[in-house]
Amino acid sequence: RMGLGYEQLREINPALVYCTISGFGTTGPYARRAGFDLVAQGMSGLMSINGHPGGPPAKVGVPITDLNAGIFAAYGILTAYIHRLKTGEGQHVDTSLMESGIACTFWESAMYFATGNIPGPMGSAHRLTAPYQAFQTSDGYVNIGAANQSNWERLCRAIGREKLVEDTRFLQPSDRMDNIDDLTATLDETFASENSQHWLDTLAEAGVPAGPIYNMADVYADPQVQAREMMVEMDHPTAGRIKNIGVPVKLSETPGSVRSPSPLLGQHTDDVLSDMGCLEDEIAALRAAGVIQ
């Protein structure tokens, strides 16, 4: 519409790698339809598998399709860039919120493809293995990830329920899934007898994967989070000292860091336009005309 589409720009620079992220992609019957994360979560199936059985549709708490679309776009751009290094040819990288949501449904899609059955919500439980969910303790909840036979047997010994290993309802992973309601009720009774820290200490000593369920204050107080520098502090020109999320990928030779806060409106306009070849008087004219601030 503005002459800035891929087809127009590739005529100027055939090596251009051009990326678009939209609600539904640039092709198909919904190409011009507006879309936000909430809409994409619903239409990708995510809201049909999130939440608890019998409850209303629930969206993932974070804008997961927005976030994933950005990640998919990044690796699409890198893939296109590698192709350009080899051939000199650019290309259009096209992804969408809806597709990024569908890509998250790998378990549910595979089950539907294989059986024709339509999966529903499972709460915090896993679709294929148990016990693998949050259990209520006397003062909160803990996550238990006894996702295979050896972990299941260690769990039973650690919580003093050794006889469950020989219970015919729970002998193998498939048995535990077939009787997941009985299994959950049995373990709920046990975990409710002690507080969360007791169970976390007990399970850690036994080598059973388990963890607390943190709120945001808990997250940033955790020594592992601090050791991995996932909270950083910096000075902001108007807000003073602020905190921000750190870099989640650590590189041994070229480590990244968060060095500055988000820019103020127009803070880097002159720098960007200068890099594009604009002269000072041209930038001043744009500012005088109200085109830039």
Catalytic residues: 66
Strand ranges of the sheet holding 210-212, from the earlier edge strand across to the other edge: 132-136, 141-145, 210-212
Q: Which residue has the tokens 């469950």?
A: 164
Q: Which residue has the tokens 């620079």?
A: 13
Q: Which residue has the tokens 């994967």?
A: 209
Token pair belonging to 44: 């990708």
Beta bridge partner(s), residue 243 = 233
Q: For 20, phi and psi rounded to 5 degrees? A: -125, 140
Computed on alpha carbons and rounded to an integer, the radius of gyration of the chain in Å comes to 26
Distance CA 167, CA 183 (A): 10
CB 184 within 8 A of CB 241: no
CB 125 within 8 A of CB 188: no
Give the CA dihedral 45, 47, 52, 55, nearest 10 degrees: -110
